[in-house]
Amino acid sequence: MADTPIDKIAISGPTLASLIQRFSSSSGPLDGLLFGHVSLLSPSTLSDDDASSTTTTTTSTSQTRIATITSFISLPFSSPSGHLLPSFPSSPSPLGWFSARRRSPLRPSMREFSVSQSLSSSPIPLSPCLFLLLASPIHDHAIHTHEYRAYQFSASAESFNPKSIDIVNIGPGFRGHYGAFSPNSPFPALPCVVGGSVMIEDEKEGEEELVERRQLDLCAEGFEVRRLRRLMGSGAANYTAELEDLYGKMLAKVENLARQVELSSAKVFEQENLNRKLRHKAARLAGSE
């Protein structure tokens, strides 16, 4: 079977943390299988710039092949000599395997080479046949650390090819991992509000909506809610200072309200202490009688 080269390996932060925790709690060396999927990611060409829609852009045809590790299972599946055991699972098909050992160099051993060779030449060969090696430092350190390195085993060249590994988390820096996305349903058409249509919308509003708007306008101290629409567009800079002033007044109100709550809480606490003393005094008087 021809090798399927990949560009990089990705693993989620929780999966890697769980694997390191399993390694830390084990009494000795640890082997297991890795599961996941291989995907092709194309460079994103989307833009929210209106000007770009009228110009002709050239798209790159290069794609990145990423093997994403989503789960693992720790179990003995090979003999000490590197041959697969009869209990080796064939479904679901794993992406590769991992080996974790303490106080050893961070490089594949002869046994790990033999295991990877057996996996690549099995009746149901692994593709892309990944290998994740975890090790702890040879010398003791005050801080407990673990090191890891990812490889792809090439059956044709009979060698390990080092691969970069990404720890995938949520955030803008990892947006590329979610680029190959197709929505299940299209977005609904959104109404576009053009100039001059605000007054028409106001005339169509019912009495309840107008009452709610007036109440909101009173809380906004003259900065009417419909004026917020003017913050979108070229004239937004003219209203920024007014909105910042409104925000400052709202903060002052919140601070004043918090101070009142603090004072009222102190009075409630004082009243509770007084009530407790009165109850104790009443209990003593009832006992003396």
- According to DSSP, residue 170 is labeled S
**Is residue 233 domain-shared with residue 145, that is, in the same domain?**
no
**138 and 252 inside one domain:** no
Per-residue pLDDT band for 195 (boundaries 50, 70, 90) equals very low
> Residue 131: its pLDDT value, please?
92
Does residue 49 or residue 167 have the better pLDDT? 167
Q: Any idea which residue has 């609904």 for tokens?
A: 188
Q: Is residue 199 part of a domain?
A: no
Q: Are residues 146 and 18 in the same domain?
A: yes
Q: Do 280 and 153 sit in the same domain of this protein?
A: no
Are 25 and 165 within one domain? yes
Cα(152)–Cα(158) distance, integer angstroms: 11
Return the closest-CA partner of residue 212 out of 195, 226, 232.
226
Structural domain boundaries enclosing 259: 227-288
Among 178, 207, 242, give the residue marking a domain's end.
178
Residues 47-87 have pLDDT tens digits of 555 554 444 444 445 778 889 898 898 888 888 888 888 77
Note whether 76 and 151 are same-domain residues: yes
- CATH code, 169: 3.40.140.10
On whether both 138 and 276 belong to a single domain, the answer is: no
Residue-wise pLDDT tens digits, 103-121: 888 888 898 999 888 888 8
Q: Quick one: 174 and 232 in the same domain?
A: no
Same domain, 168 and 241: no
Same domain, 144 and 25: yes
Rounded CA separation 7/116 (Å):
19
> Per the domain annotation, does 183 fall within a domain?
no
* Total structural domains within the chain: 2
Residue 221 lies in a domain: no
Cα distance between residue 33 and residue 74, in whole Å: 7
